[in-house]
């Protein structure tokens, strides 16, 4: 697993980074999990719909775009940079 970061921006534009290693989901399921390099769940996103996949028309990096109307609260631990 390679290490990446989840980058968060607050209303003032200050960036916070949380180390992440992997995105996990089940096709036609309803939950996405983002795991830390240590294996813990850093982010869980649930949908009332289902998760589907398709071939990206351009580019080679797998990705997802998620929009929400509600606030998102994040608990920052010692791993936050």
Q: How much of the chain exceeds pLDDT 70, in percent?
A: 81
Does residue 22 sit within a domain? yes
Classify each residue of 51-71 as buried b or exposed e, where b means 16 or more C-beta atoms within 10 Å of its C-beta: beeeeeeeeeeeeeeeeeeee
Q: What is the pLDDT of residue 61?
A: 86
Digit-coded pLDDT (tens) for 18-48: 889 999 999 999 999 999 999 999 999 999 9
Does 41 fall in a domain?
A: yes
Domain of residue 28 covers: 4-46
For the chain, the domain total comes to 1
In a domain, residue 72? The reply is no
Domain membership flag for residue 54: no
Residue 50 has what pLDDT? 95
Residue 64 within any structural domain of the chain: no
pTM score, two decimals?
A: 0.73
Task: Answer whether residue 1 shows pLDDT above 60.
Answer: no
């Amino acid at each position: 697993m390679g290490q990446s970061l989840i980058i968060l921006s607050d209303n003032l534009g200050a960036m916070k980074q949380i180390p992440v290693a992997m995105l996990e989901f089940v096709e036609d399921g309803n939950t996405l999990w983002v795991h830390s390099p240590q294996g813990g769940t850093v982010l869980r996103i649930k949908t009332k719909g289902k998760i589907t996949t398709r071939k990206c028309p351009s580019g080679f990096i797998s990705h997802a775009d998620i929009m929400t109307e509600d606030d998102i609260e994040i608990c920052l631990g010692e791993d936050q940079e």
